[in-house]
Amino acid sequence: MSAARARIKRFVQRELLAGRAVRDEQSLWDAGVDSLGLIKLVRFVESSFAIEIPPRDVRPKVFESIAAIADYVERRRRRAA
């Protein structure tokens, strides 16, 4: 598991799902991430990985799972490199 993925997972489970476990590929929407959860998730990814997320990039598919978010972070990092 990449470091980014592990970090995102830790945040999601602890801060958004009250300690409940979630699989990397599982839909966060099915797992119960709601309106405030989406805001917290975007804030966390921006501040933890020092990237600016254009609002247009906050798409259901991009933030749907821990794996998808980690892929997005990797893509953004590669583009910035």
Q: Which helix (H) or strand (E) holds 67?
A: helix 66-80
Among 36, 47, 78, 81, binds another protein (CB under 8 A): 36
* Binding status of residue 47 toward another protein by CB under 8 A: no
* Amino acid symbol at 14: R
Residue choice 3, 18, 55, 81 for contact with another protein (CB under 8 A): 55
In order of 30, 38, 58, 60, the CA distances from 55 in angstroms are: 22, 12, 5, 12
Nearer to another protein, 3 or 56 (CB): 56
> Does 15 interact with another protein (rule: CB under 8 A)?
no
Q: Rule CB under 8 A: say whether 52 interacts with another protein.
A: yes
**Tokens 């501040």 sit on residue:** 47
Residue of the chain from 8, 12, 22, 28 that contacts another protein (CB under 8 A)? 28
> What angle do the packed helices 35-49 and 3-11 form, to 10 degrees?
140
The pair of three-digit structure tokens given for residue 19, joined into one six-digit string: 């300690």
Chain residues that interact with another protein, rule: CB under 8 A: 28-30, 32-39, 42-43, 46, 52-56, 58-61, 63-64
